[in-house]
């Protein structure tokens, strides 16, 4: 059993309203020095394959389902 | 400038419909061997403090805003 951590984040220049609103909320709560907040979606995928094939398989999942190539970058970590 | 990575995940036993639906979609797409999918929300917070004080401050952000103690566990990594 392999756990693949897929990190799907927005490409540079794509608006991140959730991050911006979190930043505003932190400021309203009185936190100082916060310059920016970025939100990232992570999928922990539990797969029953050997580690050697896992990365290729998860890469395909990203292309077909998990990430939108127009707005997302993704990275895969096999644990 | 410090980047704090805050990982907010659902506690054990809390329903994760997004993860469950992703699992279903992967199965429908023909991916075999996928046992479970868990979704995690990550906030990358860019703060202007020294690294020594960053963790305490981000911990407070989690308690006050980013995580709901009823359903979430969180972990903080300072980079």
Q: With CB atoms and an 8 Å threshold, state whether A61 touches B1.
A: no
In a domain, B62, yes or no: yes
Are B26 and A65 contacting, i.e. CB atoms less than 8 angstroms apart?
yes
Asked if residue B16 belongs to a domain, the reply is no
Domain membership of residue B43 (yes or no) is: yes
Main-chain phi, psi angles of B43, to 5 degrees: -110, 125
Report the 10 Å Cβ neighbour count for A7: 17
Domain contains B56: yes
Q: How many structural domains is chain A composed of? A: 1
A20: containing domain: 2-78
pLDDT tens-place string over residues A51-70:
888 999 999 999 999 999 99
User: Over pLDDT 70: what percentage of chain A?
Assistant: 100
Percent of chain A with pLDDT over 90: 92
Domain-embedded: residue B67: yes
pLDDT of B50 > 90? The answer is: no
Residue of A3, A9, A22, A33 to mutate, testing the B interface (most B Cβ within 10 Å of its Cβ): A33
Average pLDDT of chain A is 96
- Within 10 angstroms of residue A65's Cβ, the number of other Cβ atoms is 15
Q: Using the beta-carbon criterion (under 8 Å), do B29 and A57 form an inter-chain contact?
A: no
Predicted local confidence at residue B43, as pLDDT: 98
Report yes or no on B19 lying in a domain: no
Q: Is residue B65 part of a domain?
A: yes
Q: What is the CATH number of the domain that holds A65?
A: 3.30.1280.10
């Amino acid at each position: 059993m392999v756990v693949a951590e897929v990190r799907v984040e927005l490409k540079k220049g794509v608006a991140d309203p959730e991050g911006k609103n979190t930043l505003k909320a932190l400021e309203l709560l009185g936190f100082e020095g916060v310059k920016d907040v970025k939100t990232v979606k992570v999928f922990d995928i539990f797969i029953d394959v050997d580690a050697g094939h896992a990365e290729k398989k998860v890469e395909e999942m990203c292309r077909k389902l998990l990430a939108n190539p127009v707005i997302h970058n993704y990275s895969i970590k096999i644990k």
